[in-house]
Structure 1
Amino acid sequence: MSTDLSSGGPRPGSKADAAAKDDGSAELGVPRSRVVLASLMGTTIEFYDFYVYATAAVSVFPLIFFAAGDEGAALLASMATFGAAFVARPIGSVLFGHFGDRIGRKATLIGSLLTMGIATFLIGLLPTYYQIGLWAPALLTIMRFCQGLGLGGEWSGAALLATETAKEGKRAWAAMWPQLGAPIGFLLANGLFLILTLAFNHDSTNPEMDGAFLTWVWRLPFLLSLLMVAVGLYVRLKLQETPVFQRAVDNDERVKAPLGEVFQKNWRELILGTFIMLATYVLFYLMTTWILSYSISSPEASGLGVPYADFLVLQLIGILFFAAFVPVSGWLADRFGRKPTLIVISALLVLFGLTFGWWLSADSIGQGAGLNTTQMMVFLMVGMTLMGLTFGPMSAVLPELFPTNTRYTGSGIAYNVSSILGAALTPFVAQWLVLNFSVAHVGYYLSFASVLTLISLIIAPETKTKSLDTVRGLDA
């Protein structure tokens, strides 16, 4: 192989040089497979931590972290603490975004991973309401807030790691790898809960308060998070800085205050990015957290009365469709563009929301042992397919809206402010709509959010061919 002996690398113009450029390894300084693994593993761990809490918030925390009383009220209280992380996420995006745009993507990603992982581990050690009273939900809320801080910095960093190292014309495909962390993390978290539920004979419809599951078994998924964090930390320590950010450093293009810069010069991108992501968030938390609570709650609490383990099997099968269609969406967004792909998908989401009453009303689908499992399975498959299609391109779309020197901060704020509007409120609002109106109104809520996303996509520019080496926004 021809090499330049003075630099130790391939000689310019040689076959080795051409091969290195095609693979991207020469510019990255590490094999591309390591970048893919680091972005995928990091988001998998972060989303695992997040979903472990989400599952427990429905099936465990209302029983042991809140005062005994009305089942519906306890569930609403648990959902409120679930939403605390979404308040923290924009704060995390500002905090980690500042360092991500000032110091670099690699160091910031390590910090976000540790923040999330340690908070999750500590949840597994918390005493319950029956041990320390109101301090229990207070401490739980604090740990949930810390989880939100970590995830607030994680997603945008992983998205930038993928997009800023992508080959030309393949950014959406490269960016879909961190998006796969969401369904994989969900499968790991809920699969583990399912195994533990079956192994210890926990019945969510008739829980034993002094049984092993509610006494100590529920803690295991939280405690095991620390092992996953150790593996993720090892992988990320092996990374180098992204070439796009390194060029910004070399050209002295960094700004001292990324937050002020992004609000002054990229406020339009912030608004568009927030609402482009809105329907995706609403859909996901309806199809995961809310549908779980609706399905396993008793008919007296306006639920379907399905045993937790039975429904979780259906949900885990549905998540496979989510995972399968994330790569499809990456290919579509590179082939046809970000706007056309997401406009079509958002229009389908509007229509899907209008059908919730037919899919999910107790009169239509049944309750308890009389549940029409085929109908529920098809509903989950359709919803999760749409979720994969809408979620996959987002880690390309949002970073592409912002310039290099504020990309971490800007994409993170848009993504996480949208989480407040589309995710933090969704399980709570959906539960309230079911209690006070009907399950059909939950679907109308999704349709409304999808219309807002559709309008934002129509206004937004196509960013498929936009260079990431820029220090300006949409007007570049």
Structure 2
Amino acid sequence: MSADPQADRAPAAPPQGKPRKAAFAAWIGSALEYYDFFIYGSAAALVFPKVFFDPDDPATATLISLATFGVAYAARPVGALVLGHVGDRLGRRTIMVWTLVLMGLSTFLIGCLPTYAQAGTLAPALLVLMRILQGLSAAGEQASANAMTLEHAPEHRRGYYTSFTLNGTQAGQILATLVFIPIAALPDEQLYTWGWRIPFLLSVVVAVVGYVIRRTLEETPVFQQATAERAVARMPLAELFKNHWADVLRVVAAALIATVSTIFSVWALAYATSDAVGLDKTGMLWVNGCANAVALLAIPLWARLSDRVGRRPVFLIGALGSGVMVFVYLWAISTGSYPLVFATGLLFFGVVYSAANGIWPSFYGEMFPARVRLSGMAVGTQIGFAVAGFAVTFAAKIAGPDGDDWTGVAVFTAVFCVICAIAVATGRETHRVPTADLGLPARPEPAPTPARESAAL
């Protein structure tokens, strides 16, 4: 029992929410927000080494450029602490609106930055600052959208509705890839002077559209009820770390599955288009885009399955399957066979990884009560995601000076998948737990009365 009686008491069942509207708002907002976030990954692998860093040392420039991709992930735990607290105190919708504004502004400013040739070392310094702002925004985006959809969803379909947040994330990656495909096809002179700026400048449109949509969304019935009953946590983070630290650690370990995404989307792209393999930039962007298109279909199907059989078995399929498929995919890239890369990429990222990627929004959110749900998801996921973000930098070092040791990178990624699987396997199953009881101690069965014992006989 905690010192705060509200922390362990199950609230009354909240009024019925609006799951479809919440799911749409989460989907469109995440798609627009992560369009901004993912165009940076493509640019870091294909453009920024020649735009923002010393062109006389291309190997070091590529390594540092990939490191700036990870900087946003380092900022995300800090953002999670702040935005998680605010979201559990002031509501989910507040965070969903302001994270989108911050992401759109910082991404637009990247498109306005001077290059290394124009400003020297000031250029990469400003780039890192903008990437930090992107990371702070992303820290609250998914957790707030997940909490919003979970708390609006019917109890027997929480997995399905909550998966729309990640479905939107995949749509954002598709949008980012489709925008970057014609940009990458430009002649080098145009690409490295003005062409690369276009996807970043378009983010101002993204921010305006997302802001209008999310401003019309109602707060969740769960949070409205907590506010009416004065049951909102006064210090969500203190309560989280006092009563739910074990689940925070479990989410941190499980969130390492995001390593698969960063390796697939960034390191594998850089490896495939390097001199060691020599695949075409545009072709590899199509692999990424089509794999994400398959994921759009796979994620809700896996999520619906988890509503029937449970979160853990579906998540484990995705985690352990990804640990195997990373070897297959990187081997395919090493052969230089584009059809083989295309087929294995779709199976790996589009189907297998989606089993874990589509389940974690509901699985993580169901570990925590409403009082600390946004904080628990934000802090746990963002620490794990921070490690995943820098996995690209570690992979570049593991691959060696020539960048062609794909087996070492595959082993490195598979280890994270195993750690994730262990964390998930040791967690409790939550898909049948009533929404009001999520994250609370299990209620003891009532002791049998003499009348019941007689009836049983």
Length-normalised TM-score, structure 1: 0.86
Q: Match for residue 15 of structure 1?
A: none
Q: Deviations over 1:87-118 (max 9, x none)?
A: 11111111111111001111121111111111
Q: Deviations over 1:254-308 (max 9, x none)?
A: 12221111111110010111112212x0111111111111111122xxxx11221
Match of 2:281 among 289, 297, 308: 308
Separation of aligned partners in 2, 1:182 and 1:377: 21
Q: Match for residue 5 of structure 1?
A: none
Separation of aligned partners in 2, 1:125 and 1:381: 35
Q: 1:461 touches 1:474 (CA, 8 Å); kept in 2?
A: no
Identity, in percent, stands at: 29
Q: Match for residue 21 of structure 1?
A: none
**Aligned CA distance change for structure 1 residues 344 and 193 (closer, same or farther; 3 Å):** closer
Match of 1:327 among 288, 300, 306: 300
**Aligned CA distance change for structure 1 residues 36 and 269 (closer, same or farther; 3 Å):** same
Equivalent residue letter for 1:120: T
**1:283-362 maps to which residues of 2 (within 5 A)?**
283-299=260-276, 304-355=277-328, 358-361=331-334
SS of equivalent to 1:164:
helix
Larger displacement relative to structure 2 (311-320 or 352-361): 352-361
Q: Match for residue 37 of structure 1?
A: 24
**Aligned CA distance change for structure 1 residues 357 and 412 (closer, same or farther; 3 Å):** closer
**1:24-423 maps to which residues of 2 (within 5 A)?**
27-28=16-17, 32-198=19-185, 201-202=186-187, 208=188, 211-279=189-257, 281-299=258-276, 304-355=277-328, 358-361=331-334, 365=335, 371-384=336-349, 385-421=351-387, 423=388
**Aligned CA distance change for structure 1 residues 137 and 468 (closer, same or farther; 3 Å):** same
* 1:352 shift after superposition: 2.4
Larger displacement relative to structure 2 (308-317 or 91-100): 308-317
* 1:32 shift after superposition: 4.2
Q: Match for residue 12 of structure 1?
A: none
Q: 2:30 touches 2:168 (CA, 8 Å); kept in 1?
A: yes
Q: 1:55 touches 1:190 (CA, 8 Å); kept in 2?
A: yes
Unmatched segments (≥5 aa) in structure 1: 1-23, 203-207, 366-370
Does 1:426 find its partner at 2:391? Answer: yes
Separation of aligned partners in 1, 2:441 and 2:253: 16
Equivalent residue letter for 1:403: P
Q: Match for residue 9 of structure 1?
A: none
**Aligned CA distance change for structure 1 residues 441 and 330 (closer, same or farther; 3 Å):** same
SS of equivalent to 1:216:
helix
Separation of aligned partners in 2, 1:231 and 1:215: 28
* 1:212 shift after superposition: 2.0
Q: 1:356 touches 1:442 (CA, 8 Å); kept in 2?
A: no
**Aligned CA distance change for structure 1 residues 225 and 417 (closer, same or farther; 3 Å):** same
Separation of aligned partners in 1, 2:286 and 2:327: 26
Separation of aligned partners in 1, 2:223 and 2:264: 36
Separation of aligned partners in 2, 1:298 and 1:323: 32
Q: Match for residue 13 of structure 1?
A: none
* 1:428 shift after superposition: 1.0
SS of equivalent to 1:277:
helix
Q: Deviations over 1:392-412 (max 9, x none)?
A: 011101111111111111111
Separation of aligned partners in 1, 2:79 and 2:181: 31
* 1:351 shift after superposition: 2.5
* 1:445 shift after superposition: 1.3
* 1:354 shift after superposition: 4.5
* 1:120 shift after superposition: 0.5
Separation of aligned partners in 2, 1:49 and 1:333: 30
Does 1:465 find its partner at 2:411? Answer: no
